[in-house]
Structure 1
Amino acid sequence: MAQHKYRQLTKNIQTCHSMLVAFSGGVDSALLLKAARDTLGRDNVLAVTFHAPFHGKEELLEVQSLAARLDCRLQVIKDSGLMDDADFCANPPNRCYICKRTILTRLLDLAREKGLSTVAEGSNADDVRDYRPGMQAVRELHVISPLQMAGLTKREIRKISRDLGLPTWNKPSSPCLCSRIPYGSPITYIKLRQIEEGEKFLKEAGFSEIRLRHHGPLARIEIPAGKMGDLINEPMLSMVQSHLRGLGFQYVTLDLHGLRSGSLNEVLDFK
């Protein structure tokens, strides 16, 4: 079934003469970029990555390395202007819509400038089941989502990626750092730095899947349930508490529900 959907993906891409791919370096956009590169050829595909303060510094290095491995042209835009947008920084529930529309508008302008016929992004079939305000911007601007159009789920994308030898096949999902800040709490450079440095420390300590939720003076750690014992045992517990307090958090807590995508959406009635 997954291979059939992948063939459908490449058929859909064939209808596009050229393509600009919004490339984050994650499992979804990596498969999309490879499919576009293999189908349309190197000269007809351009990967574009936005790198802003709400993206981790290491993410850019990973993006550049992966684009080189796939032999794809890459353009990096380091200033999205969103941190100067008062509406975005106010962190409303439709924050992702504001972000997505701003970025996709710039990608459409760039595609016209480069003579590329299509702009594509990496949403998959599972994304329609979650709160995804950014999809509204995708529809409004007529950007295509080839993985979603082919009906590919995240699980299928990982399987195909593994079969194709993509290093991203088992890469954990990593939404932008703004997703760690509750809606209504302003997005600031200080908060983003605290989150990035805190998650970096925890990853280096052995917690590869981690969300550090920023609740003002309180840091709420989300990790898989099976890893909780590793965190609460000494000396790890004291090391984590000391490091996060050093970043400016007064309280350090462990969420007993464990790691889950979009936990800050639980307060929204989006159904």
Structure 2
Amino acid sequence: MEKEKEARLFALLRPYGSVAVALSGGVDSAVLLMAAVRALGAAKVAAVTAVSELLADAERADAKRCAELAGVPLTLLPADDLGSPDVVRNDERRCYYCKKRRFEMLVLWAKERGFPCVLDGTNADDADDYRPGLAAMEELAPFVVSPLAKAQWTKRDIREAAKAWGIPVWSKPSAACLASRIEYGVALTKERLQAVETAENTLRRFICGQLRVRHHGKLARIEIEPREFDVFLQHRAEIEAAVRAAGFNYVTLDLRGYRMGSQNESLAFS
């Protein structure tokens, strides 16, 4: 980790005095939380996780672990994402609607407790993908801040810092919310989200590295890293049975392998 980048991040954080960190369970927000504690002290930092059916149980558990390591109590805020027709509709703007309502809730929570802002874990590499949620962050400025992006921290910088600081999720594959697995235009339901989570948990018993179960109605499109194809085929029957049991009629392996944001390939601008 470059000391210059580390110093730049701490310098951005110190003027806030105290902050609330939106903790998702991933490596980005975990590093941001630890950086805030190092810059401001644990007494000046709060960790908050928005909880709904869109958050996998494993992510919630990792958020708790990272908050405990940082010495900061974790607050779980019910988000009721499936109570929003804009989110449930699941069009290409879903992430915007979800982020906007979630962070409005987090900002209100932070203001009521005297925190001037909520920190978000967006990093410098996130601009390379279609992320309508970033527009929501911009609209909520200056009450929502993305220090990692401002300090030009890349994913590599974040992982290096996480490893150096002993954060347990430092090598964890990146993960978006469960809704990102469901094809645009297919409405979000608790059952569909659970089907994806159950199927991915099954895959992780056999497959290492990045993986996704993309929900296309009755069909599950599995993305894994090509190096894992042989392992997948060795356990094909078990995987197929388990994924079908999770709620799918058909199970396919995407021969292009895992790629970030592949659901966006169906959009007109792709």
Could you say which TM-score interval applies, normalised by the shorter chain? over 0.9
Does residue 151 (structure 1) correspond to residue 142 (structure 2)? The answer is no
Of the structure 1 ranges 198-207 and 212-221, higher mean CA displacement relative to structure 2 is found in 198-207
Alignment size in residue pairs: 268
- Deviation for aligned residue 1:4: 1.3
Q: Structure 2: which 5+ residue stretches go unaligned?
A: none
- Secondary structure at 1:174 match in 2: coil
1:213 aligned partner, one-letter code: R
Runs of 4+, deviation exceeding 4 Å: none
1:167 aligned partner, one-letter code: P
- Superposed counterparts of 1:247-266, under 5 Å: 247-266=246-265
The residue aligned with 1:180 is: 181
Residues 206-263 of structure 1 deviation map (CA, whole Å, 9 limit, x = unaligned): 4442100011111110000000111112xx1111111112223111100000011100
Check whether the contact 2:207–2:228 (CA below 8 A) recurs between aligned residues. no
- Gap change, CA 1:132 and 1:2, over 3 Å in 2: farther
Percent of paired sites with the same residue: 40
- Secondary structure at 1:48 match in 2: strand
The residue aligned with 1:22 is: 22
- The two structures, once aligned, show a CA RMSD in angstroms of 1.3
2:70 aligned partner, one-letter code: L
The residue aligned with 2:38 is: 38
- Secondary structure at 2:228 match in 1: helix
Check whether the contact 2:206–2:232 (CA below 8 A) recurs between aligned residues. no
The residue aligned with 1:223 is: 224
- Gap change, CA 1:182 and 1:165, over 3 Å in 2: same
The residue aligned with 2:214 is: 213
Q: Distance in 1 between matches of 2:269 and 2:147?
A: 25
The residue aligned with 1:13 is: 13
1:231 aligned partner, one-letter code: F
Q: Distance in 1 between matches of 2:267 and 2:104?
A: 27
The residue aligned with 1:56 is: 56
- Superposed counterparts of 1:157-176, under 5 Å: 157-176=158-177
Check whether the contact 2:26–2:59 (CA below 8 A) recurs between aligned residues. no
The residue aligned with 2:92 is: 93
Check whether the contact 1:195–1:212 (CA below 8 A) recurs between aligned residues. yes
1:196 aligned partner, one-letter code: E
- Gap change, CA 1:15 and 1:270, over 3 Å in 2: farther
Q: Distance in 1 between matches of 2:212 and 2:175?
A: 9
2:68 aligned partner, one-letter code: A
- Deviation for aligned residue 1:270: 4.5
Structure-1-length-normalised TM-score: 0.95
- Deviation for aligned residue 1:130: 1.1
Check whether the contact 1:42–1:73 (CA below 8 A) recurs between aligned residues. no
Structure-2-length-normalised TM-score: 0.96
- Gap change, CA 1:265 and 1:46, over 3 Å in 2: same
